[in-house]
Structure 1
């Protein structure tokens, strides 16, 4: 997320990023991820790298496992300049993650918040179309939340179409 000092155009839309109006935001970055898959690996390394660059990063270490996001979390999301969504195979098996995703996109549309998808060991097409193992995980929620499935499906497709990062490229 550090600014590039090169005068040439950036190779990626976020390689030369300045935070939008940081004085109005409590956090520079909000990280959303599946705890079971990425918390002690990719996410902890990403958070460490962001913190080393003095980027104020929110990660909910106190969250109790469940499907709802706490009442204060939507305010925390809105108080962040950037949301980074770490899509993994099991991300869509969490109603909580999907509800966070809805809030990220709402903030993107209403306030211009930057939303960056990171595809960690999952194909962006699988997120976009909810297929493969990612799609199987998503369908686990259909019985419990039939009324939310269409909104979540639309949000997943929209987020997967945003410019982001694919871990398959870095292997």
Structure 2
């Protein structure tokens, strides 16, 4: 693997070359592990939540800092990614940072059809429905409105991600 072109020039200093976003239960012991190892072997400083967040640290702020302090992002979108509100919140922040800078975002669709993400159909629809059902149980009207707004941000982020040129990894054992 050649040194990635998008990492070569940048006036701003970042703590990480790559922020790796994935649903741990789907890919951590398989594809994402292989990808993380390949990035590290290429000498790329890579943020991955189970590697960079130490015990006792506040997870949300560490993830936000990791995203903001990364030169690029790789989102490994897998079948259960959208079931994780943490992953969806990461995705929203990654896209906000990308939209406000010239940094690089590579989506990898791991056993997921990008059109399902774009149209929010199939498993993605199930995930969003799951979150909506959970949020609709909130009795406080203000909180419920905030949660509804969150769902809208997630939907927008999913569509934006699926509209990017990325890699589709289908029918591959461990990548």
Q: TM-score, normalised by structure 2?
A: 0.81
1:57-109: CA deviations, max 9, x gaps? Answer: 1100066xxxx961232121111011111111110011110110111011111
Mark the CA change 1:39 to 1:22 in structure 2 (over 3 Å): closer, same or farther: farther
Work out the number of aligned pairs and report it.
157
User: What residue in structure 2 maps to residue 25 of structure 1?
Assistant: 14
Contact 2:6 2:104 in 1 (8 A): no
SS of residue matched to 1:48:
helix
Larger radius of gyration: 2
- Bigger fraction of residues in helix: 2
Superposition misfits of 4+ residues, deviation over 4 angstroms? none
SS of residue matched to 1:71:
helix
Q: Distance in 2 between matches of 1:18 and 1:73?
A: 21
Instruction: Tell me the CA shift for residue 121 of structure 1.
Output: 0.2
Note the 1:81-160 alignment, pairs <5 A: 81-143=71-133, 144=135, 145-160=147-162
SS of residue matched to 1:112:
coil
What RMSD over aligned residues (CA atoms) do the two structures have, in Å? 2.4
Q: Does 1 or 2 have the higher relative contact order (CA < 8 Å, sep 6+)?
A: 2
Instruction: Tell me the CA shift for residue 18 of structure 1.
Output: 3.5
Q: Distance in 2 between matches of 1:22 and 1:83?
A: 18
User: What residue in structure 1 maps to residue 168 of structure 2?
Assistant: 166
Q: TM-score, normalised by structure 1?
A: 0.82
SS of residue matched to 1:111:
coil
Are 2:68 and 1:78 equivalent residues in the alignment? yes
Q: Distance in 1 between matches of 2:59 and 2:130?
A: 18
Note the 1:43-62 alignment, pairs <5 A: 43-61=32-50
